[in-house]
Chain A
């Protein structure tokens, strides 16, 4: 892990959400490098191109054109090279089905996109300060969905 700054990647097809995400990180008091990709295909391309400098934390939208977040999740989890990337699902829906499925497929945390900018900032700062090692080993149905 880079001690200087946290390497964060967001895969989301929605331009507004990417904008809000970037804005929120600008206001968070942690040193971060935020990269953005527009969809699943681009995400996989990006990851494969930056093996030397993989993100520490990936925010993954589920509902994306061309390649969905769920497919990306499977692909990343089945690739040994990406095993150190923590994956936070970042979705509008908080349906039981999606939560259950992503937990089973190996996501680390599930974030429902908030409808308040200050809440967004709070959630994001919460997520980047989580000790992932500890969190992942004690992961269960109750602490998977992050709620502020």
Chain B
């Protein structure tokens, strides 16, 4: 899992958290509302019941008063009057509490007022009934009339109370219905929200567990990579460090300690502690490098020496790079490599190079000696020989003439040797300008040059179509000349020479064999003939300067031609080899690279 995906995952996690929080708040609010309305409706029921009970109570007190009054009327005993008068007080009490209970209901309040009037009149009738004399008939009739009136009032009271009860009941039923309606919607909504919450939680769970799995995988990969890096550092003799420029703290990899000959984490990674290991003469490199980093001038690569804990001197090459994160915080990361081996072999190489240069200088002064100082006396010998030949030969005896011819031919051979030696050494010198050249054109020129010999020997040169290559033209011309004239020279006296030139691309196997650069492509060109050939055991010798397989008298020459060929091929970063069978022919094959 990469950093971007991880950040996205964190973001979605945040969104899920916020959604969940909102859902919980909604559910809580709904539940609160639900409970609240439930308790409200319970309150209403209780309230309605209280009113009904109180009304029942009221009627019961009225009945008490009636009973007492009747008792008194029957017995004329004043004992019965006590409940009667008590009932009055209780009715009042009950009435008062009803008034409180119905305080917020205007309709019932009015009903209560009417009830109050009715009850009052009932009590007045009850009281007035007591005043009639039962002994008097007329009074008795009046009392009966009064009592009938009381009965009517009582009936009124009852019906009024029933009415009030009905209103209260209706009210209760209505609010209960309302509550139930509301409750139904709330329940559905809560259910939906809960369902949605469950879905959100399940999805979140799946997402988080997926992310965690990916995170775990990434973590595993990271662990492997860390182990690999550690391993690579140990094998490659390098280490890494981080320098947090904000907090000025350093972090070292384990191998950083090991390069210093210490155990990992055996000292605190600070610049001062590191400087302890740096060679006294090189400390300034680190100090100045550090300053430049702090002043943001440059982030240098440094080369310096350290003295390890065990006292060994090592060479360190340090490369660093600045990292700036998205908050603009800067961190320098670096890699230190122990380049002691490379450095020492470089020193050795430089030494060898110097020696090589010296020996090259020696060689070029040798060349100078050959070209000037050796030529000088030889030229004089030749000139005086020519003077003698011109003017004095006639006075010589036969034997003197014979010896003189030998001197002349030796001097001539000496001249050839010196010239070829110079040619050989100059193959290495001079300008090496590579130009795209059509080898067919070069071959044509060479055949033109050698046309006389070719004609004399009746030779047949058969060539495949040659490529166009970036070469040093005059050297390739020399190469072709040497190879063809070699074939012409060492041809069989009785058979017309046939020289075959073939071209192909080199195979990977051949490249491997000649340890060629594997990235390059090579043309493989071969010159084969049907001449005298040679024994394969001399295949390498014939490329050495002045090595000859034939005696000078039969085949005059200096033995430098093929050495020059080898040198030319080497100048072109190619390879040459020879194959031969005595009496059958010779084959020279060379490889030339092309892009």
Q: A115-B415, A117-B390, A118-B390 are in contact. Are A92 and B376 (CB under 8 A)?
A: yes
Q: A117-B390, A118-B390 are in contact. Are A92 and B383 (CB under 8 A)?
A: no
B387 at the interface (CB under 8 A from A): yes
C-alpha spacing A17/B375, complex, angstroms: 13
A142 at the interface (CB under 8 A from B): no
Q: Is the CB of A118 within 8 A of B386?
A: yes
C-alpha spacing A130/B234, complex, angstroms: 80
Encode contact with A along B377-392: 1 for CB under 8 Å, 0 otherwise. 0111011101100100
Q: A93-B371, A93-B372, A95-B371 are in contact. Are A115 and B390 (CB under 8 A)?
A: no
Which B105-164 residues have a C-beta within 8 angstroms of A? none
Residue from A14, A95, A117 within 8 A of B386 (CB atoms): A117
C-alpha spacing A140/B329, complex, angstroms: 70
Residue from B372, B375, B386, B430 within 8 A of A116 (CB atoms): B386
C-alpha spacing A116/B384, complex, angstroms: 8
A114 at the interface (CB under 8 A from B): yes
A113 at the interface (CB under 8 A from B): yes
Q: Is the CB of A115 within 8 A of B383?
A: yes
Q: Which residues from A are CB-within-8-Å of B379?
A: 92, 113-115
Q: Is the CB of A116 within 8 A of B380?
A: no
A20 at the interface (CB under 8 A from B): yes
Q: Is the CB of A114 within 8 A of B372?
A: no
C-alpha spacing A95/B430, complex, angstroms: 11
Q: Which residues from A are CB-within-8-Å of B378?
A: 115
Q: Which residues from B are CB-within-8-Å of A9?
A: none
Q: Is the CB of A92 within 8 A of B387?
A: no
C-alpha spacing A96/B430, complex, angstroms: 9
A11 at the interface (CB under 8 A from B): no
CB closest residue in chain A, given B367: A95
CB closest residue in chain B, given A115: B382
A136 at the interface (CB under 8 A from B): no
Shortest Cβ gap from A125 to chain B (Å): 16
Q: A16-B380, A92-B379 are in contact. Are A117 and B372 (CB under 8 A)?
A: no
C-alpha spacing A143/B387, complex, angstroms: 29
Q: Is the CB of A117 within 8 A of B371?
A: no
Encode contact with B along A1-21: 1 for CB under 8 Å, 0 otherwise. 000000000000010110010
Shortest Cβ gap from B369 to chain A (Å): 12
Residue from A20, A95, A96 within 8 A of B383 (CB atoms): A20
A120 at the interface (CB under 8 A from B): yes
Q: Which residues from B are CB-within-8-Å of A120?
A: 383
A63 at the interface (CB under 8 A from B): yes
Q: A63-B372, A92-B376, A93-B371 are in contact. Are A117 and B387 (CB under 8 A)?
A: yes
Most B-side CB within 10 Å, residue of A14, A92, A119 = A92
Q: Which residues from A are CB-within-8-Å of B376?
A: 14, 92
Shortest Cβ gap from B386 to chain A (Å): 4
Shortest Cβ gap from A31 to chain B (Å): 23
CB closest residue in chain A, given B381: A115
Q: Is the CB of A92 within 8 A of B372?
A: yes
Shortest Cβ gap from B453 to chain A (Å): 23
Shortest Cβ gap from A143 to chain B (Å): 21
CB closest residue in chain A, given B431: A96
C-alpha spacing A14/B378, complex, angstroms: 14
Q: Which residues from A are CB-within-8-Å of B386?
A: 115-119
Q: Is the CB of A114 within 8 A of B375?
A: no
Q: Is the CB of B375 within 8 A of A117?
A: no
Which A83-135 residues have a C-beta within 8 angstroms of B? 92-93, 95-96, 113-120
Q: Is the CB of A116 within 8 A of B371?
A: no
Q: Which residues from B are CB-within-8-Å of A119?
A: 386
C-alpha spacing A91/B384, complex, angstroms: 17
Q: Is the CB of A92 within 8 A of B375?
A: yes
Which A1-46 residues have a C-beta within 8 angstroms of B? 14, 16-17, 20
C-alpha spacing A92/B376, complex, angstroms: 6
C-alpha spacing A29/B138, complex, angstroms: 212
CB closest residue in chain A, given B429: A96
Most B-side CB within 10 Å, residue of A16, A117, A120 = A117
Which B44-98 residues have a C-beta within 8 angstroms of A? none
CB closest residue in chain B, given A14: B376
CB closest residue in chain A, given B371: A93
CB closest residue in chain B, given A63: B372
C-alpha spacing A116/B385, complex, angstroms: 8
CB closest residue in chain B, given A91: B372
Shortest Cβ gap from A20 to chain B (Å): 6
Shortest Cβ gap from B424 to chain A (Å): 15
Shortest Cβ gap from A113 to chain B (Å): 6
Q: Which residues from B are CB-within-8-Å of A116?
A: 382-383, 386
CB closest residue in chain A, given B411: A115
Most A-side CB within 10 Å, residue of B375, B383, B384, B387 = B383
Would you mind naming 14 contact pairs between A and B with Cβ atoms under 8 Å apart? A16-B380, A93-B371, A93-B375, A95-B371, A113-B379, A114-B379, A114-B383, A115-B386, A115-B415, A116-B383, A117-B384, A117-B386, A118-B386, A119-B386
Besides A63-B372, A113-B379, 13 other A-B contacts (C-beta < 8 A): A14-B376, A20-B383, A92-B375, A93-B375, A115-B379, A115-B386, A116-B382, A116-B383, A117-B383, A117-B386, A117-B387, A117-B390, A118-B390
Q: Which 9 A-B pairs have the closest CB atoms?
A: A115-B382, A116-B386, A115-B379, A117-B386, A117-B387, A92-B376, A16-B380, A117-B383, A93-B372
